[in-house]
Amino acid sequence: MSSQGITPRHEDYSKWYTDIVQRADLADYAPVRGCMIIKPYGYALWENIRDQLDRRFKDTGHQNAYFPLFIPESFLRKEAEHVEGFSPELAVVTIGGGEELTERLIVRPTSETIIGYSFANWIHSYRDLPLLINQWANVVRWELRTRLFLRTMEFLWQEGHTAHATHDDAQEETMRMLGVYADFAINEAAIPVIQGRKSNQEKFAGALRSYTIEAMMGDKKALQSGTSHNLGQNFARAFEVKFTDENNELQFCWTTSWGLSTRIIGAIIMVHGDDQGLRLPPRIAPIQVVLVPIFKNDDEKAKVMPVVDALRQELKAAGLRIHVDARDGLTPGFKFNDWEMRGVPVRVEVGPKDVQNNTVAVARRDVPGKAGKQFVSREGVVHRIADLLAEIQANLLQQATEFRDANIHEVTGDYPKFQQIVEDGWAYTWFCGSAECEAKIKEENQVVSRCFPLDQPPGEGPCIACGTTATERAYFAKAY
């Protein structure tokens, strides 16, 4: 057990993860099995994620709306593959107001159906297209095995839903939003995701094609961190979403959907966390800089606090998210450990000697111990901290990228070697994509294809499972 009360990662990775979520005050268990309570610090992190994504959505022409939590059961049955895919996860309302309902209601697992119903009422002409809508909401999926943030029965997310005049327009939107997710993950969350297409077996129920951003966690398992789907005309046909084209002919729309959830918080924890706790990328950290005043008596406090207050105002004026830890009755060492556990990127210490020397002590969370600590002149501290936050952001991304690349191994036509690789890492190999080969690999190795990466050179080789000629490579890994 670490000084913060966290189980070391190498001893029990699952317990380490849960310890961090609870000890860092991100979330707690709810009285309802499989649900979670997101605490203020965890919700502040989600708000930063939400704001960064929302800005990107609006920059690409999308508008926010809200749709009902309850969906008529008949809506789900209109798209056969969709209802079959979600049936095991549905929460169903049968009684309302003390009376049995004439039609059962589904608690929203996703909103393609009710939004399809709405689009059918809103869209009439090609002039109404494209229709670009996003919803910030909660959804419910009756999961049997749950884990805080990673898989809970109720979770928060955004779901984008759009309608277009042509397949190509819908495909362009699908790829654009996948790129938005990748941009956010890499540049804000410092997670080096891989963009790719899901196999037909792993695609979203009812989609024409599904695309994903896949990330490697600290235990080398994969986490699907965001998805974007070209739904073709499947939902448009089910809900009669039609428009009159420029030739005055009636056509079905082409639709898309895409989503990213609070699961991304689990990814941030597992990609960047260490045995001391969280390590948060500065761009999304609720607190970027914590100021810790150090004094033993009122005389020292009278010297230290004016410097701390002035520094807080200067850093806040520079646009940084600041917190002053003025808690009484706690030692500086306890406070240092506490903020390390919470993953605050930069800690600034101000004591009587610092005031006398016109300096402050600055410690970076991503570099442990003395190596990550320096004394900075009081005059240049704001500029130095801003530079330091940029360095930390880049360093976290670099560390995660190097770890990922070191644990991806290419294999061609050697199934025993493939089996050895996926025991503790990712395999990159030729794959025909058939349901039979997917099932064989899953049954024999407890791994599934993660994606066919978009960025791969043309070529061909033997499918790792059946040996027939394949024209694409795919990643395989154990996954959450």
Are 112 and 248 within one domain? yes
Q: What count of other Cβ atoms lies within 10 Å of the Cβ of residue 327?
A: 10
190-200: average pLDDT: 98
CA neighbor of 295 nearest in space, from 253, 338, 352, 375: 352
Are 268 and 204 within one domain? yes
Q: How confident is the model at residue 41 (pLDDT cuts 50, 70, 90)?
A: very high
Are 341 and 212 within one domain? no
Contact (Cβ atoms closer than 8 angstroms) between residue 366 and residue 382 = no
- Using CA of residue 442, residue 444, residue 447, residue 452, what is the dihedral sign? negative
Q: How many residues does the chain have?
A: 480
- Distance separating alpha carbons of residues 203 and 107, to the nearest angstrom: 22
Residues with Cβ < 8 Å from 210, sequence gap 6 or more? 197, 198, 202, 203, 204, 227, 228, 229, 230
Are 194 and 248 within one domain? yes
**CA-angle at 327, arms to 325 and 331, nearest 5°:** 95
Burial 397-425 (b: 16+ CB within 10 A, else e): bebbeeebeeebeebeeebeebbebbeeb
Are 27 and 104 within one domain? yes
Structure confidence by residue, pLDDT tens digits, 309-336: 999 999 999 999 999 999 999 999 999 9
Q: How confident is the model at residue 440 (pLDDT cuts 50, 70, 90)?
A: very high
Query: Domain of 309?
Result: 289-389
Helix (H, G, I), strand (E, B) or coil at 350: strand
Q: Where are the alpha helices (DSSP H) in 30-137?
A: 40-59, 73-77, 80-86, 112-122
Q: Where are the alpha helices (DSSP H) in 60-154?
A: 73-77, 80-86, 112-122
Structure confidence by residue, pLDDT tens digits, 229-288: 999 999 999 999 999 999 999 999 999 999 999 999 999 999 999 999 999 999 999 999
CA neighbor of 270 nearest in space, from 46, 21, 438: 21
Q: Which one-letter amino acid corresponds to residue 463?
A: C
Burial class of residue 301 (count of CB atoms within 10 Å of its CB; 0-12, 13-18, 19+): middle
Question: Where does a domain end: 272, 303, 331?
Answer: 272
Q: Is 280 among the domain residues?
A: no
- Distance separating alpha carbons of residues 281 and 395, to the nearest angstrom: 9
Contact (Cβ atoms closer than 8 angstroms) between residue 163 and residue 123 = yes
CATH number of domain containing 204: 3.30.930.10
Q: Is 6 among the domain residues?
A: no
**Phi, psi of 276, deg, nearest 5:** -95, -10
Q: Is 186 among the domain residues?
A: yes
410-429: average pLDDT: 98
Q: In the chain, pLDDT over 90 holds for what percent of residues?
A: 95
Burial 37-66 (b: 16+ CB within 10 A, else e): ebeebbbbbbebbbebbeebbeeeebeeee
Give me 210's structure tokens: 């599904």
Are 87 and 139 within one domain? yes
Least confident span in 79-83, 218-222, 395-399 = 79-83
Q: Where are the alpha helices (DSSP H) in 140-223?
A: 167-187
Q: Is 94 among the domain residues?
A: yes
Burial class of residue 469 (count of CB atoms within 10 Å of its CB; 0-12, 13-18, 19+): exposed
Mean pLDDT of the chain: 96
Q: Is 4 among the domain residues?
A: no
- Distance separating alpha carbons of residues 221 and 219, to the nearest angstrom: 6
pLDDT for 2 equals 57
Are 124 and 229 within one domain? yes
Q: Which one-letter amino acid corresponds to residue 100?
A: E
Q: Which residues pair with 257 in a beta bridge?
A: 161, 229
Are 181 and 255 within one domain? yes
pLDDT at residue 3 greater than cutoff 60 = no
Helix (H, G, I), strand (E, B) or coil at 127: helix
pLDDT for 78 equals 84
- Using CA of residue 432, residue 433, residue 436, residue 439, what is the dihedral sign? positive
Are 202 and 347 within one domain? no
pLDDT at residue 166 greater than cutoff 90 = yes
Give me 305's structure tokens: 């606090």
30-35: average pLDDT: 94
Contact (Cβ atoms closer than 8 angstroms) between residue 178 and residue 170 = no
Contact (Cβ atoms closer than 8 angstroms) between residue 268 and residue 280 = yes
57-83: average pLDDT: 90
pLDDT at residue 84 greater than cutoff 80 = no
Are 59 and 139 within one domain? yes
Question: Where does a domain end: 272, 299, 329?
Answer: 272
pLDDT for 340 equals 97
pLDDT at residue 11 greater than cutoff 80 = yes
pLDDT for 105 equals 97
- Rg of the chain over all Cα atoms, to the nearest angstrom: 25
Number of separate domains in the chain: 3
- Distance separating alpha carbons of residues 29 and 239, to the nearest angstrom: 38
CATH number of domain containing 321: 3.40.50.800
Alpha-carbon distance values, 343 to 29, 66, 104, 162, 282 (Å): 21, 33, 45, 37, 9
Helix (H, G, I), strand (E, B) or coil at 46: helix
Q: Is 402 among the domain residues?
A: no
Alpha-carbon distance values, 182 to 186, 264, 268, 369, 391 (Å): 6, 12, 14, 32, 20
Q: Which residues pair with 105 in a beta bridge?
A: 72, 93
pLDDT for 299 equals 97
Question: Where does a domain end: 328, 362, 389?
Answer: 389
Q: Is 253 among the domain residues?
A: yes
Q: Is 425 among the domain residues?
A: yes
82-109: average pLDDT: 90
Contact (Cβ atoms closer than 8 angstroms) between residue 350 and residue 360 = yes
122-145: average pLDDT: 96
Are 224 and 266 within one domain? yes
Q: How confident is the model at residue 394 (pLDDT cuts 50, 70, 90)?
A: very high
- Distance separating alpha carbons of residues 435 and 104, to the nearest angstrom: 34
CATH number of domain containing 416: 3.30.110.30
Helix (H, G, I), strand (E, B) or coil at 116: helix
pLDDT at residue 308 greater than cutoff 70 = yes
Are 154 and 268 within one domain? yes
